[in-house]
Structure 1
Amino acid sequence: MIKPSLEIATLGNPILRQEAQPVTDITDKQLQQVIDTLLSTAKAASGVGIAAPQLSHSYRLFIICSHPNPRYPDAPLMEPIVMINPRLVSHSEEMVKGWEGCLSVPGVRGLVPRYQAIAVEYLDRQGQQHRQELTDFVARIFQHELDHLDGILFIDRVANSEDLVNIE
């Protein structure tokens, strides 16, 4: 079993503001180890998603792993999904504000506007292409994690400072 990495990059670490690099070799052993570490770290930290840059790896890769937990008690339960070189293909007109937090911005929550429904494409860890329609909370997770790959944090998306709260 891979030991989870709790060395999560936090606000101020420059990797969180850089654009991640596309994955070119899915069979690379180091990449596969990063995927395993992302999965175990998300679970250990009660995260519903985690992106490679949060563990200081510049890969266009993230995990969505929604499940009810202390941080998101109403999150839907789903099997973790590995998303490599993910793309937002289309989105609804409707945007919805919802509360978000981030393992890289501890102690802060923000009311963030996101598309309510999206269509996405990505490769899984075996290199198979997928296209999915995502809605509601899972669509929110995807958009949040995709932002990490572009050097954007949820705090950049809040409409005004009144939409940020300290939860510690």
Structure 2
Amino acid sequence: MTEPAGGKALFSDAYVREAVAAVLEADGLPGIVQAGHPVLRARAVPFTGQIPADELARLIAVMRATMHAAPGVGLAAPQIGIPLQLAVLEDLYEVPADNAAARDRRPLDFLTLLNPRYTPVGPATASHYEGCLSISGWQAVVDRAVAVDLAYDDEAGTALRRRFGGWQARIVQHETDHLAGILYLDRAHTRSLTSDAEYAAHWSRPDIAAAREVLHF
């Protein structure tokens, strides 16, 4: 790893291959690295075939299992120590109807993203509490685009474009941000920051109106 001007860490293809090998050769699922780990603040390396198709498929399977075990609805490769532009998404959890309606949360079938880039669709934003597996135990309110257009490659290398809205758009933005070294706290209303316990006690409502009024953000 080298450190260029501007503070962005650059990882080599060799580093990526070594990191992938370490994950695939380990017993059990990898740990999810936490804020402060350097790979979370680096721009991940674009996938250009650094690992063969069979290793990529195994890595995707490991990431999916790790995401489920956490549990979470998305996981980016940097979160398991691999600085590669790869993320997996899946949201099939049952949630209360009022919560789903307020957040426009609909099921999202499993999806693999390579080299994703999103563009907001229009100026509309939505504000909701958001957490991260790499900032364990905390949540904060983040304003996100209501809809985004996503350009990405699938695991077969096919270039695709897809529009996402509502909670699906939030997941896409959160995980794609990870690949640029951005954590949700960089975009959050910091006065809204709450531990999971305090969130459960006070702010676990379909919308953020009460939190906004009391916490003054």
The Cα offsets for residues 85-142 of structure 1, whole Å up to 9 and x where unpaired, read as: 1111443211111111011001101100100011111111111221101001000001
Show the counterpart of 2:196. Answer: 167
Q: Which moved more, 1:84-93 or 1:118-127?
A: 84-93
Q: Aligned partners of 1:89, 1:130: CA distance in 2, in Å? A: 14
Q: Aligned partners of 1:103, 1:4: CA distance in 2, in Å? A: 18
Q: Aligned partners of 2:39, 2:178: CA distance in 1, in Å? A: 9
Q: Aligned partners of 2:84, 2:144: CA distance in 1, in Å? A: 23
In the alignment, structure 1 segments of 5+ residues that lack a partner are none
Show the counterpart of 1:79. Answer: 109
Q: Note closer, same or farther for the CA distance 1:130–1:4 as it changes in structure 2 (3 Å cut).
A: farther
The Cα offsets for residues 52-85 of structure 1, whole Å up to 9 and x where unpaired, read as: 0001011101011112268xx7453222100001
Show the counterpart of 2:59. Answer: 34
Q: Give the counterpart letter for 1:45 in structure 2.
A: A
Count, aligned residues? 164
The normalised TM-score by structure 2 is 0.70
In the alignment, structure 2 segments of 5+ residues that lack a partner are 1-23, 198-217
Alpha-carbon distance, 1:6 to partner: 4.2
- Output aligned runs, 1:10-159, within 5 Å: 10-25=34-49, 27-68=52-93, 74=100, 75-159=105-189
Q: Give the counterpart letter for 1:125 in structure 2.
A: E
Q: Aligned partners of 2:121, 2:52: CA distance in 1, in Å? A: 31
The structure richer in helix per residue is: 2
Question: Which structure 1 residue ranges, 4+ long, deviate > 6 Å from structure 2?
Answer: none
Q: Aligned partners of 1:162, 1:125: CA distance in 2, in Å? A: 39
User: Does the aligned pair in 1 maintain the 2:108–2:168 contact within 8 Å?
Assistant: no
**Highest relative contact order (Cα 8 Å, sep 6+), 1 or 2?**
1
User: Does the aligned pair in 2 maintain the 1:49–1:64 contact within 8 Å?
Assistant: yes
Q: Aligned partners of 1:116, 1:33: CA distance in 2, in Å? A: 33
Alpha-carbon distance, 1:4 to partner: 5.7
Larger Rg: 2
Q: Give the counterpart letter for 2:66 in structure 1.
A: T
The normalised TM-score by structure 1 is 0.89
Q: Aligned partners of 2:176, 2:94: CA distance in 1, in Å? A: 22
